[in-house]
Amino acid sequence: MKSSKNDIIDSTIFKVKPSGATQKDYFLINLPQIGYVDFFDFELEKKGRSKVSISFALTGTGQALSIPNAPFGGFWCEKGVNSDTVEDFILDLQIELKRMGVNYLKLTQAPKSYEPLSDLINNLLFKLGFQQTSVLSHHFFSGGKKIGKSLKEEEPKIRKKLKTSQLTVSHGNIESFEFLKHIKQWNSLKGYEVNLDEAQLINQVSEYPERYFLIKLESFDKPVGFALAVKLTSDSIYYFLSALDSTTSVKNGGDFLLHELFVLAREQKVDFIDLGSSETKSRVNHSLMFFKSRFANDISNKITWEKHL
């Protein structure tokens, strides 16, 4: 199997190269995919700059996945790229994947906060015969200045509630993974199942410790709530794993965790906060969606597409 290929197409170059050869801002692309035969970046370059790109892990049995065990993969575009350029790239991508022995591909396109052209990309994928197999809505709070303004308005009220409840909330880098036991236990008590590859998470934290943060809610030095946040990109914070101890009488625990997330976002000077989805493939958790909507000013879909070549 060839690991690189250059085809001149309208003064652009279609390239295939091993993932990680060029460091990406979405750091999960830079990590190796254990259990897969190959992991490639497919790019359309012009004058040495990537105009459109996507990364696929190949199974060796004819499947290409973008990106396995990640919140999303999908296409990334440079600002100002035209729709015909994106469509041509998708067409050429399918030809190249088929040449490489791929007969099935699957991708989850990032919401528009991460990739502004996601709505256009989803439209093109539909027009080109891709099948939509999953739609998950993510809540966002967008705007760096708005994050600061929101904190300024809410901080006095939150601090007063914390003092009244005799609680403390803090955040920092991950030094121990003991919190995962608590999260599993607390979610189990509520009937929730945590599908998490601990080995993969530990590997990712060890490779990029500066990207991961643990938010902790305590009552007299006893943990009663945890949340995990990660900078998937340099301008974002993603909130993707949390739990509260239901055996305690803590009130407003979710509010305290999310407020600390906003404090973290302000410190990290990000442009937006991704509160994640509030649903499974088949069911919406309306109460959780309502809760997140109180802390959000935008919502965007994350769509999974599949196609047999």
The reported pLDDT for the residue numbered 49 is: 87
The two structure tokens encoding residue 285: 């958790």
pLDDT > 90 in the chain, percent: 78
pLDDT tens-digit series, residues 72-111? 999 999 998 999 999 999 999 999 999 999 999 999 999 9
Complete DSSP assignment for 16-35:
EEETTSS--SSGGGGS--TT
Q: Which CATH architecture has domain 7-137+303-308?
A: 3-Layer(aba) Sandwich (3.40)
Sequence-ordered list of residues with C-beta below 8 angstroms from that of 109, at least 6 positions apart, any chain = 72, 73, 74, 75, 115, 118, 121, 122, 125, 302, 303, 304, 305
Query: Structure pTM?
Result: 0.91
Query: Within 13 Å, how many C-alpha atoms sit on residue 15's CB side?
Result: 20
The reported pLDDT for the residue numbered 281 is: 66
User: Tokens 């170059």 appear where?
Assistant: 13
7-137+303-308 and 144-270: identical CATH topology: yes
The reported pLDDT for the residue numbered 188 is: 84
pLDDT tens-digit series, residues 120-152? 999 999 999 999 999 999 999 999 999 999 999
- The Cα-based distances of 289 to 136, 184, 266, 296 in angstroms read 11, 21, 23, 10
Domain edges within the chain: 7-137+303-308, 144-270
Q: Does domain 144-270 have CATH number 3.40.1360.10?
A: no
Q: What angle do CA 283, 285, 288 make, to 5 degrees?
A: 160
> How far is the C-alpha of 215 from the C-alpha of 284, rounded, in Å?
26
